[in-house]
Amino acid sequence: MKIALICPSNMLYMPYVENYTNILDEIDLEYDIINWDRFKIEKESKSIYRDSKTGHQRSFLDYFKYSRFVLNILKKNNYDKVVVFGIQLVFFLKRHLIREYSNKYIIDIRDHNRIIKYFNIEKAINHSNFTVLSSPGYKEWLPKSNKYVINHNTQIESLDELIEVKPFDLSSSNKISVGCIGALRDYKINIDFIESLKNSAIVELNYHGEGDINEDVSGYLFEHGIKNVRLTGRYDKEEELELYVKNNIINVLRYNDGINNKTALPNRLYNAAIYGKPMLAIEGTQLAQNIKDYELGLVVNSFEQVGIEINEYLKSFDIEKYDANRKKFLISVMHDNISFNNMIRDLNNSYF
């Protein structure tokens, strides 16, 4: 049996592909990764596609050209199963998938894309073997189906992997550190947040990671003379734990101003829970609801009194209660991921 994994970017930017390859390696199933090398960082290969551009942004025409490359490979190889990542590729490959791989392909959806308006995704889902979602909130905008399987954006397998929760003591540092760890997006909400706490004597805001808006945020800080915000830029994966440890509360702020922001569950949700750090969110998203349901941090209605609310939350922080709740949350996550893992393993035993 041989499987094709069709990826619209480098695996560096799609770490969840490893959720498949780790299992396929474990059960010794052969697979090819058909990869769109948008950053020209991969070694040359018959399964690597490159165009003249460099970076994330691509047009409808770019996707069309990549899909022709993919179709050529699919037609030349006798794959038994196919995994397609992203709604955009499903749009371009749907006819071939339904005709040649009905009930033999997996769709993996990690975010919303407006191209969903222009084709019958329900038909594509119905013809899939199953369809993987990274957030149960996606069911709000996807058609009803019994094909959905949840695979969260984390690879935690045991509570033994958790980092011990440390007590918060304001007197030891005289500062509250709020950390945003990961690619910096969502300009408006972060500027609103920065404005509400600019030049605070007790709250410092740290942004660790490289994103599309780093330069814009840096310019805003300079223009408005804001001194209590640090942008440290790109970091290595090995530094991630230390960055979480150095911050008291983790910024996972996003407005519900778009379908993705409203329904997605970011990596920071899982990382913060694993590293034992409470989160700060604003009402109105699936993310905020999870934080409220499992009491994993502070959810605010606005930034009007956010400094006071953060201070009061951390002063009354109950380590034992938080630790029990994060374990409950992560057990639920692992349960979903085990179901996904079992379905991938069953590919080796299925004859559809």
305 has a pLDDT exceeding 70: yes
Domain assignment present for residue 352? The answer is: no
Residue 128 burial by CB count (10 A; 0-12/13-18/19+): exposed, middle or buried? buried
Under the phi-then-psi rule, with left for phi > 0, alpha for psi from -120 to 50, and beta for the rest, what region is 85?
Answer: beta
Domain assignment present for residue 258? The answer is: yes
* Beta strands 48-49; 130-133: pairing state: unpaired
Query: Do residues 268 and 140 both lie within one domain?
Result: no
Q: What is the mean pLDDT of the chain?
A: 94
CA distances from 192 to 11, 282, 348 (A): 33, 12, 50
* Beta strands 148-150; 130-133: pairing state: parallel
310 has a pLDDT exceeding 70: yes
Domain hosting residue 255, numbered range: 159-331
CA angle 60, 64, 68 (to 5 degrees): 170
- Quick one: tokens of 158? 């045991």
Q: Tell which residue, 206, 196, 195, 208, has the closest CA to residue 173.
A: 206
347 has a pLDDT exceeding 90: no
What number is the average pLDDT over the span 178-200?
96
What pLDDT was estimated at residue 351?
44
Domain assignment present for residue 340? The answer is: no
117 has a pLDDT exceeding 60: yes
Mean pLDDT lowest among 19-33, 81-95, 161-175: 161-175
E strands within the chain?
A: 2-7, 30-36, 48-49, 81-85, 105-109, 130-133, 148-150, 176-181, 203-208, 229-233, 249-251, 279-282, 297-300
170 has a pLDDT exceeding 70: no
What's the total number of domains in the chain? 2
Domain assignment present for residue 348? The answer is: no
What pLDDT was estimated at residue 171?
62
Query: Do residues 189 and 213 both lie within one domain?
Result: yes
Boundary residue ending a domain (128, 151, 174): 151
Query: Do residues 189 and 270 both lie within one domain?
Result: yes
**Taking the CB of residue 62, how many other CB atoms lie within 10 A of it?**
17
Q: Tell which residue, 170, 171, 125, has the closest CA to residue 145.
A: 125
- Quick one: tokens of 212? 């599309």
44 has a pLDDT exceeding 80: no
pTM: 0.93
249 has a pLDDT exceeding 50: yes
* Max Cα-Cα span within the chain: 66
**Band (43; pLDDT cuts 50, 70, 90):** confident
**142-159 confidence digits (pLDDT tens):** 999 999 999 999 999 999
Query: Do residues 146 and 173 both lie within one domain?
Result: no
74 has a pLDDT exceeding 90: yes
Out of 7-16, 84-93, 173-182, the most confident range is 84-93
CATH at residue 67? 3.40.50.2000
Strand order in the sheet with 30-36: 48-49, 30-36, 2-7, 81-85, 105-109, 130-133, 148-150
**199-226 confidence digits (pLDDT tens):** 999 999 999 998 889 999 999 999 999 9
Query: Do residues 50 and 124 both lie within one domain?
Result: yes
Query: CB under 8 Å to 348, separation ≥6 — which residues?
Result: 1, 27, 29
Boundary residue ending a domain (116, 151, 186): 151
- By percentage, how much of the chain surpasses pLDDT 70? 98
233 has a pLDDT exceeding 70: yes
> Distance (Å, rounded) from C-alpha 52 to C-alpha 65?
12
